[in-house]
Amino acid sequence: MHYQLNDQQIEHDEEGYIVDIAQWSEPLAEHIAQSENLAMTSEHWEVISILREYYQEYQIAPAIRVLTKQVAKRLGDGKGSNKYLYELFPYGPAKQACKIAGLPKPTGCV
Amino acid sequence: MSDATETADGLVTKRFLYVNRKAPHGTVYALEVLEMILVAAMYEQDVHVAFLDDGVFQLRKNQATEELEMKDFSKTYRALEDYGVEKIFLEKESMEERGLTPDDLVIPAATIDRKQMTELMDSMDVVLSA
């Protein structure tokens, strides 16, 4: 299973999470979002970049509760809510946003 | 043995202690226990973590894992605070036997001696050792 991005094939697992995190790129993120019928806006990118930085720093994809706190800290309390994040990523902010960010599924997510 | 407490919404909270005794790499124990800790924390359990024997090496700073083709999950211990896990203990004797001091470690932790460690274990509802 793979995403076809121009002439490049990027392997993913059965749920759509990419296998090799080093293969991530912004065009790939757009491509994954599109395949989930999601149009990326600057608000989406803000969250994606927080997720990627969190992974860089701690080597894990944060659980939703932790992500919400990080977003509140970095982007203000107005955005650090479940409601705001679910509006951006209807299939679950941690699950869907992590997929677009090229991270593994958050630990403990079922 | 203390009694488990039940919160208003019916979720039972127990005192959990995760005991890490093995070196970080070479087996999957350290990483698997770390994942169990994160999951328990998400279910709002009263999580305690102890490092003893070679387990103290799990917190060693500056691990070079590239050649092992392992991810450097020592960075993940620094995320425990975000998950509300702050009850972290080191066994004094294990640290001394290996020439380690708290400055060698990626996160701060309470150093307790072997006798206190035994008491800590006795006060838990669940002890998981790996």
Which among B48, B85, A28, A52 has a CA at the least distance from the CA of A67?
A52
Q: Per-residue pLDDT for A106 more than 90?
A: no
The interface residues of chain A toward chain B in range 59-88, judged by CB-CB distance below 8 A, are 59-60, 62-63, 65-66, 69-70
CB B74 within 8 A of CB B63: yes
CB B42 within 8 A of CB A108: yes
Residue A108 lies in a domain: no
Task: From chain B, pick out residues whose CB is under 8 angstroms from the CB of A108.
Answer: 35, 38-39, 42
Structural domains counted in chain B: 1
Residue A80 lies in a domain: yes
Which carries the bigger pLDDT value, residue B123 or residue A106? B123
Structural domains counted in chain A: 1
Q: What is the pLDDT of residue A93?
A: 85
B32 lies within 8 A of chain A by CB: no
Range of A73's domain? 2-100
B106 lies within 8 A of chain A by CB: no
Q: What is the pLDDT of residue B10?
A: 72
Q: What is the pLDDT of residue B89?
A: 98
CA distance B110 to A14: 42
Residue tagged 């001696």 (tokens): B113
Please name the helix (run of DSSP H) or strand (run of DSSP E) that holds residue B83, with its range, or none: none
CATH number assigned to the domain comprising residue B85: 3.40.1260.10
- Of the partner residues B38, B72, B79, the one whose CB lies closest to the CB of residue A108: B38
How open is the CA angle B40-B42-B43, to the nearest 5 degrees? Answer: 65
Range of B86's domain? 5-129
pLDDT digits (tens, 9 = 90+) for B43-91: 889 999 999 999 999 999 999 998 888 889 999 999 999 999 999 999 9
Cα B10 to Cα A76, B4, B5, B85, B126, distances in angstroms = 32, 12, 10, 22, 19
**Chain B residue at shortest CA distance from A64:** B42
Q: Per-residue pLDDT for A90 more than 60?
A: yes
Q: What is the pLDDT of residue A108?
A: 61
Global pTM reads 0.88
